[in-house]
Structure 1
């Protein structure tokens, strides 16, 4: 079970305790314990993970039995362990993550990558990937295994030439403009994208900067068949609930509606190269 589901289940349990104790609304409960109502709402809806002190306050306010309190503490610990798994992986460097992603991509029949701030790893050049890994290692203070990680990422790209797969690469124009690497490296990356756009089983599109967005997407994501992976600054989120996966499919479809693809996408990228 992912930590998001664990956190949501914990929030549901706390809500049930609150209502059983006679607090009809989260606002009533918040006033009783001196919190903002928004904090209670975020905890109950799985958007904020409460602290040990918060859990103690909650359990005392609802007069939870000792056994229930202990079970909730175990649940809270489980959520933290699952959440921190990604951090532990990063502390070992990025190479192992790249190898694991390669296995998942090889097993998938449909691969979708959507990014607005960086070129997706599946189509990065070695030098561009090196810049990305160096930035990530510095940010997370993780071991710098950039050379091995780059080689593992490039080996992942073998799936691009597997004609038995359907692959969608959708990027925001912003991702093609941000100078996260030296200009010569960025130009080489753009040139690679124009070459990949010619693969018959690969759908490549760019969401131009000057088109109205159909949705506000605050992060990139990948979809492998019926599983969505979202990597944010402090963790990685895996989504497998059918309703949530369907949401990401709908978001992707709407973004494709605003994107340029085929010859138009290639022309846009070449325009950036020649600009």
Structure 2
């Protein structure tokens, strides 16, 4: 199902297409005018790719648009970029900067609902586990020069677990432990950290066991922070604020919690993981 971001990008591409058609040039001819390949024009017009500001500037110049039209499209592109930011763009400022964003966002939040698939939620990670997660990320996207500072910032995020006045629900899959991102001794420490977190006042911790039928297909992990849904993909981070979409994610989250192991059941599940994690 298309998200509000997908729809907005498709609508933006449609505006670009109409501008291109006003020049009477076909896609290939327009690409030649810009010095691009034809597939790039097609991807931008169909919403398969988001234009950069340089792309938009070149497009507007080739179409000789008015200042009003140029300003309108620049604002729309800026709004699109606020919804989806690539990891390469984020890590230019460093991983510590990205973690500090989370510190500030979560400190101001009243509601935090995390559903993580392949990783332990950041609010429950040990420093050693966090290091391996961030190093794996840096291996793909770069920016690994400030990992230690990023770990410190991630640990500061966890202070909110012990502050009253919030609803914090942290749900993860057992498969995140069965497919570890860190060595066995680190995973053993991480399992103990999860066990200790169960029963923390004002914090709900749950695990979706393997081979348990889920009420809805868990396609990806996501976080709901107040009225914003954040989804991390391999290449970037998508933020959704459409009320209907946020409501849908909250509904799915409620359904998933119904299948989760909590309290003693979650502890028993984690104990079973210890021999494998510590062997």
TM-score, normalised via structure 1 length = 0.77
- In structure 2, stretches of 5+ residues that fail to align are 19-37
Aligned to 1:11: 10
Give the C-alpha shift of residue 50 in structure 1. 7.0
Aligned to 1:227: 228
**Using the alignment, how far apart are the partners of 2:159 and 2:254 within structure 1?**
26
Cα RMSD for the two superposed structures: 3.6
**Using the alignment, how far apart are the partners of 1:234 and 1:168 within structure 2?**
26
Cα distance, 1:71–1:107 mapped onto 2, change above 3 Å: closer
**Using the alignment, how far apart are the partners of 1:122 and 1:129 within structure 2?**
10
Would you say the 8 A contact 2:85–2:238 is kept in 1?
A: no
Aligned to 1:28: none
1:217 aligns with 2:218: yes
Would you say the 8 A contact 2:133–2:181 is kept in 1?
A: yes
- In structure 1, stretches of 5+ residues that fail to align are 20-34
Output aligned runs, 1:57-206, within 5 Å: 74=74, 78=78, 82=82, 83-84=84-85, 86-206=87-207
Cα distance, 1:65–1:151 mapped onto 2, change above 3 Å: closer
SS in 2 for 1:214: coil
Give the C-alpha shift of residue 179 in structure 1. 1.9
Q: How many correspondences in the alignment?
A: 252
**Using the alignment, how far apart are the partners of 2:48 and 2:251 within structure 1?**
22
Once the two structures are superposed, residues 194-233 of structure 1 have per-residue CA deviations (whole angstroms, 9 ceiling, x without a partner) of 1100213111111111112222233211111111111111
Cα distance, 1:154–1:98 mapped onto 2, change above 3 Å: same
**Using the alignment, how far apart are the partners of 1:145 and 1:199 within structure 2?**
31
Aligned to 2:247: 246
Cα distance, 1:201–1:81 mapped onto 2, change above 3 Å: closer
Instruction: Please say which of residues 182-191 and 256-265 is displaced more in the overlay.
Output: 256-265
Cα distance, 1:13–1:230 mapped onto 2, change above 3 Å: closer
Instruction: Please say which of residues 116-125 and 66-75 is displaced more in the overlay.
Output: 66-75
